[in-house]
Amino acid sequence: MFLPRESIEQTVQKILAGDRRTAGRLITRLEDGDEWGKEVMKSLFPRTGRAMTLGLTGAGGSGKSSLLNHLIQRFRKMGKSVGVIAVDPSSPFSGGAFLGDRIRIQHHTKDDGVYIRSMASRGYLGGLARATTEVLRLMEAMGFDVVMVETLGAGQDEIDVIRLVQTCLLVITPGMGDEIQALKAGIMEIGDIFVLNKSDLDGATQALRSIEAILSLKAFKEGEWKPKVISTVATSGEGINDLVEGIMAHQDYLHNSDAMERAAFQRVEQELGLIFRDELERVIFKGLRGTGKKRRYIRSIIEGKSDPYTIVEEILGTFLKRE
């Protein structure tokens, strides 16, 4: 260790007091999948779940970071403190990453009420990093009133964020394809609010009509939230007022229905599944380490003597008997 290891209790106290250095360090530990980090999270968990949580998703270059910059400013004016998690992709070849979201979020570098953390996806699918759920909990424990999660540039199916946050903004731009794209399952279904950014570009009106047309095809139950479509120009700030109003309207809807409870349920369900898979894999690969079995299993599959299903059944069978 490069620092004398603090006790878990000391770390927890520092986090609750909003100590940024300790938080920064802990996030690294969570990204690394460190046991100690998990112990700290156990103590922090009861202090989480009280923030307003927003997600921003959409294709790379659609303006998510620039919109985020405006939203931080608005929330700060309302007197709310803001945590931000910005995910960018890791290289599948080198494992490295270029994390560029901070460039667009520059008005708050001296503001103690704003905490921004970039995360590399490290090969995790779904538009987030594996530890994003944990970092969201951590920022809630630090006492931020609003926590926003920006996904990496999403394509059609990077939609994990919807189960993580209360209000999900899908950022789109003119010229991203016709109605056929919008009819496909996946990303077009996840927005509580559709943000048509760069709405000063050619084709904006047409894009707006397409989204509205698609939404009008969907049958909404009585009292169900009907996604709003809001046009913005992030570079000039046009439409940001409408966007903030839209976000607040969705929050009101959540608070005045059982939808907030459903959101909390979905979030924990997703976290539970994630932690369960991680732990199971970790325990099993730890058990196999050094035995040479993993290599033999892979060989026997390649040589056609066995198949992955049989192998997994066999491994699980042995482990379940032993536990």
Residue ranges binding other proteins (CB under 8 A): 1-3, 20-21, 23-25, 27-28, 31-34, 90-91, 94-100, 102-103, 106, 109-110, 115-118, 120, 122, 130, 278, 281-282
Q: Shortest distance, CB of residue 151 to other proteins, whole angstroms?
A: 17
Alpha-carbon distance 205 to 189, whole Å?
A: 21
Q: Shortest distance, CB of residue 160 to other proteins, whole angstroms?
A: 16
Burial track 130-148 (b if 16+ CB lie within 10 A, e otherwise): bbbbbbbbbbbbbebbbbb
Q: Shortest distance, CB of residue 198 to other proteins, whole angstroms?
A: 21
Q: How far is residue 172 from each of residues 58, 188, 195, measured CA to CA in Å?
A: 6, 10, 6
Whether the CB-CB separation of 138 and 27 falls below 8 Å is answered with: yes
Alpha-carbon distance 33 to 278, whole Å?
A: 9
Whether the CB-CB separation of 195 and 161 falls below 8 Å is answered with: no
Q: Shortest distance, CB of residue 103 to other proteins, whole angstroms?
A: 4
Pick the closer one to other proteins by CB: 27 or 40: 27
Pick the closer one to other proteins by CB: 23 or 164: 23
Pick the closer one to other proteins by CB: 34 or 212: 34
Pick the closer one to other proteins by CB: 85 or 208: 85
Pick the closer one to other proteins by CB: 105 or 229: 105
Q: Shortest distance, CB of residue 115 to other proteins, whole angstroms?
A: 6
Whether the CB-CB separation of 159 and 128 falls below 8 Å is answered with: no
In 3D space, the residue among 150, 235, 151 whose CA is nearest the CA of residue 197 turns out to be 235
Pick the closer one to other proteins by CB: 97 or 196: 97
Alpha-carbon distance 136 to 165, whole Å?
A: 9
Q: Shortest distance, CB of residue 290 to other proteins, whole angstroms?
A: 16
